[in-house]
Structure 1
Amino acid sequence: MFGKFEKRMSGTQMIALGFLLLIFIGTILLMLPVSSRNGEWTPFITALFTSTSATCVTGLVLVDTFTHWSIFGQLVLLVLIQIGGLGFITIGITVSLILRKKIGLKQRGLIKESLNTLEIGGVVRLVRRVIGGTFLFEMSGAFILTLRFLKDMDVLHAIYYGIFHSISAFCNAGFDLMGRYSPFSSITRFYNDPVVILTISALILIGGIGFFVWNDLREHGLHCRHYALQTKMVLSATAVCLFGGTLLFYLFEHNRLFAGMSFGEQLLNSFFCTVTPRTAGFNAVDNGALSESSKFLSIVFMFIGGAPGSTAGGVKVTTIFVLLLSVRSTLTRTTGTNIFGRRLEESVITKSVVVLMFQLTLALSATLAITAISGYPVIDVAFEAFSALDTVGMSTGITSSLSTSCHIILILLMYLGRLGSLSFALSFTDKKRIAHVMQPVEKINVG
């Protein structure tokens, strides 16, 4: 019976259901008394919110991770983050490879959808590289962070903290254990520490450029001319966002929130304020104390997000890149949308418009609903809503004080953001056949 049900499901539907099951299992485990530091049952909505946030690698929390969860609860979160970051399909295929099971065409199709690759060929090899690369980067980050944390804690705690924060940063999750110093403080304690800030930034960026880009860089090294178009677009857009964002955050905050810092510390924190909204969720300064312009800029970066097929969320840098290119082509009256000596397919432009509108509609609708329910300032509510939908996890500090209905809205946003709002919508129409009937054309005016 289950086999027939599985055959009727599309790849997108299986991924959506898989994430739901993972969230449900995580919720049950986090509710158990063994998961809380005080040995009591955790309320259902708190466990559900936290499980969703970890599985969807978001980082929004209702309770401080260190002060509320026991070691067991923290390990549950770490497993959810790792599976959620790589995708349970990738983990499942890895287990199959270890057991030397044959990977069929259906499984390869699931890998293609899960990792958001362009072709089905070579996906098994890509999974091997993804797992190997993930282990290499996470352990390298853990080693560097462990050495730094040894200054503040004993060896075992330093190793544990190094591993936890490395995995959380690489998977763009934003969960931290710095509540041992001050609850909900994230890494503000290390705002002037380049080792911690730059290591976490590097992990966030590596996890956020996408597995397809990893593979391309591995195969072609520094030979930029041989890179795929997607790789060129992702790297170019990432560089522009990093440089432009660092400059803007510096201009907005150097006489405000960063006023007491040295020039080097101001640049370091401006850079980190640019990196973490795409979509990691850590913060080295108090987000609630940012100027309105910086909060708005953070929302913009949350909305953009990282690269397709990565641990990051958002509409993706390629989507924004494609739309900007389309605007340029329209304004210059150029035939076709061209970049780096290649022409983009019209279907890619259409999909980019749909993704943008879908994501923007969800975020604005949620902002309106939460503002009406809570009464908080719209800029702070928008910060939370975009953070949830784009799986960022940054907060101005109002998440835990929102009502249960607002928490449910945020849970839905996190789930949709991890799946991709467009992918979720298409999961209901994958099996439907639409008659291709051409309707009569009639002109209208736009713009």
Structure 2
Amino acid sequence: MKSFFNVSKWSPPRILVTGFALIILVGGLLLSMPFASAAGEFTPYIDAVFTATTATCVTGLVTVDTGSHWSVPGQVIIMTLIQLGGLGFMTMSTLFAIVLRKRISLRERLILQEAMNQTSMEGIVRLIRKVILYSLTIEFVGGVLFAIRWSFDMPLGKAIYFGMFHAVSFFNNAGIDLFGQFGVPYISLTQYVNDPLVNIVTMLLIITGGIGFIVMADIMEYRTNKRLSLHSKVVLSMTGTLIAVGTVVIFVFEFSNSKTLGSLDWGGKILASFFQSVTPRTAGANTLDLASLRQATQFFTIILMFIGASPGSTGGGIKTTTFTVLIGAVVAMMRGKEDIVLFRYRLARERIFKALTITMLSLSLVIFVTMVLSTTEDKAFIKILFETTSAFGTVGLTLGITPELSLIGKILISLTMFAGRLGPLTLAYALGPRTEKELYRHPEGKITIG
């Protein structure tokens, strides 16, 4: 018990969990103040904490409309929380340390290794520098492009503000938007369903934020190294496959649905299908009314949200690499192979066990929360499952039930977003006792499988 209160002996996962929790609590306190709301009134603390959680965990589910409920200071707080949550508070701390020319200690490097989901500390500070440079550059370019486009719809100052807010939100895969202030709450990007610039810039921000900083660094250095790591190859190939398959499935399922793709021309159908395939990669923006999608499309979206983004990124879910390992295990078993081989590399058994553990813990969490919410919320099962998976995958897509959640529902979804951002395995390591290596092995036993 003493070691729990001795911060100097805390493990990196415990420090990460505590750091994110403190950011959320402080953010919730600030957002509950009158200056943070457009009406100049106190916001119920549960809604303020929910908003702080969805921003810090870069999810996008909101109980109050961001554009109309919050004042400009409140929106700036939300944008700051998104940036802190997307890049990670340790990354931001490292930025200040680099600016102040302070030395990064071994303990801080261990925490950064855990935060970036790296297997070693080698080159971790160099990677953090690249993460900060790439992120700020991409957000700036995206913000400028958005500002140019929206300057035709609103005053230039507001267009610049909107551009930077949404560039930060979409790159960090938060999906929180401000368009509700134009009279229709929770509207997202539905008014831009046929706009190529808004769609393409948004999708590029989502994809670059979702593939992970390790892959980004690999791509940037490709001209020099002329090679990609196994991790980057797996992430890029699986990301491309999921987006392509998702586009085709959504296009086929929704082609004749007059409430979604049916009313669009061919170009609009393809663009909207592409966008709705990209956004479940933990982004949360949408150009179609999700509640009007057919149930088959909604369930397929749930699968995409559960898979999520890639390791070391701003997104959640079980991650593309975990899904790839699971597929590889199935293929290897069906072919009678002993090893999982990807791009001519054999995977270590510990990687396979970790993928199975993450998947089972994640599936258990989604099932448990869905069962409880099915009791506390008077909503259709598909809507509750959709909401839970969206929270776990830190996606932010909803079928419209978030503002109507009960107190228990808001707390459960907040905890699910928190678990989804940090990862069930990290939480288990943080909350569980330290385990020591066993000095012996039990004799092998045999059971019948299948």
TM-score interval, normalised by the smaller of the two chains: over 0.9
Aligned partner of 1:317 in structure 2 is 320
Aligned-residue offset at 1:431? 2.4
* 1:307 corresponds to 2:310: yes
Aligned partner of 2:409 in structure 1 is 406
* C-alpha contact (below 8 Å) 1:10/1:430 kept by paired residues: no
Aligned-residue offset at 1:428? 2.7
Task: Give per-residue Cα distances to partners, 1:59-84, cap 9 Å, x unaligned.
Answer: 00000001110001000000000000
Aligned-residue offset at 1:119? 2.2
Counterpart selection for 2:221 from 197, 219, 226: 219
> Which deviates more, 15-24 or 1-10?
1-10
Task: Give per-residue Cα distances to partners, 1:112-154, cap 9 Å, x unaligned.
Answer: 1111123211111111111110111001000110011011100
Aligned partner of 2:188 in structure 1 is 186
* 1:362 corresponds to 2:365: yes
Aligned-residue offset at 1:48? 0.8
Aligned partner of 2:431 in structure 1 is 428
Task: Give per-residue Cα distances to partners, 1:267-291, cap 9 Å, x unaligned.
Answer: 0000011110110000111111110
Task: Give per-residue Cα distances to partners, 1:351-407, cap 9 Å, x unaligned.
Answer: 000100100110011111101211311111000000001100000001111211011
Aligned partner of 2:296 in structure 1 is 293
* C-alpha contact (below 8 Å) 1:57/1:173 kept by paired residues: yes
* In structure 2, distance between residues paired with 1:397 and 1:135: 32
Matched residue type, 1:382: L
Aligned-residue offset at 1:196? 0.4
* In structure 2, distance between residues paired with 1:62 and 1:298: 21
* 1:127 corresponds to 2:121: no
Which residues of 2 match residues 117-266 of structure 1 at below 5 A? 117-181=118-182, 182-221=184-223, 226-256=227-257, 257-266=260-269
* C-alpha contact (below 8 Å) 2:20/2:56 kept by paired residues: yes
Matched residue type, 1:415: F
Aligned partner of 1:277 in structure 2 is 280
* C-alpha contact (below 8 Å) 1:201/1:276 kept by paired residues: yes
RMSD between superposed Cα atoms in Å: 1.5
Aligned partner of 1:45 in structure 2 is 46
* In structure 2, distance between residues paired with 1:2 and 1:179: 47
Q: TM-score, normalised by structure 2?
A: 0.97
* In structure 1, distance between residues paired with 2:314 and 2:439: 36
Matched residue type, 1:260: S
Aligned-residue offset at 1:430? 5.8
Q: Secondary structure at the match of 2:27?
A: helix
Matched residue type, 1:425: A
Aligned-residue offset at 1:3? 13
Aligned partner of 2:353 in structure 1 is 350
Q: Secondary structure at the match of 1:427?
A: helix
Aligned-residue offset at 1:242? 1.0
Aligned partner of 2:385 in structure 1 is 382
Aligned-residue offset at 1:7? 1.5
After the TM superposition, list the runs of 4 or more consecutive aligned residues in structure 1 that deviate by more than 4 angstroms. 1-4
Q: Secondary structure at the match of 2:280?
A: coil
* 1:92 corresponds to 2:77: no
Aligned partner of 2:56 in structure 1 is 55
* In structure 1, distance between residues paired with 2:181 and 2:297: 28
Aligned-residue offset at 1:14? 0.3
Q: 1:375–1:342: structure 2 CA closer, same or farther, 3 Å change rule?
A: same
* C-alpha contact (below 8 Å) 1:208/1:312 kept by paired residues: yes
* In structure 1, distance between residues paired with 2:318 and 2:286: 21
Over the matched positions of the two proteins, sequence identity in percent amounts to: 39
Aligned-residue offset at 1:440? 3.4
* In structure 2, distance between residues paired with 1:2 and 1:302: 37
* In structure 2, distance between residues paired with 1:163 and 1:197: 16
Aligned-residue offset at 1:341? 1.0
User: Unpaired runs of 5+ in structure 2?
Assistant: none
* In structure 2, distance between residues paired with 1:137 and 1:222: 21
Aligned-residue offset at 1:261? 0.3
Aligned residues: 446
Q: TM-score, normalised by structure 1?
A: 0.97
Aligned partner of 1:330 in structure 2 is 333
Q: 1:147–1:327: structure 2 CA closer, same or farther, 3 Å change rule?
A: same
* C-alpha contact (below 8 Å) 2:3/2:9 kept by paired residues: no
Matched residue type, 2:138: F
Aligned-residue offset at 1:434? 5.1
Aligned-residue offset at 1:15? 0.5
Q: 1:269–1:436: structure 2 CA closer, same or farther, 3 Å change rule?
A: farther
Matched residue type, 2:266: F
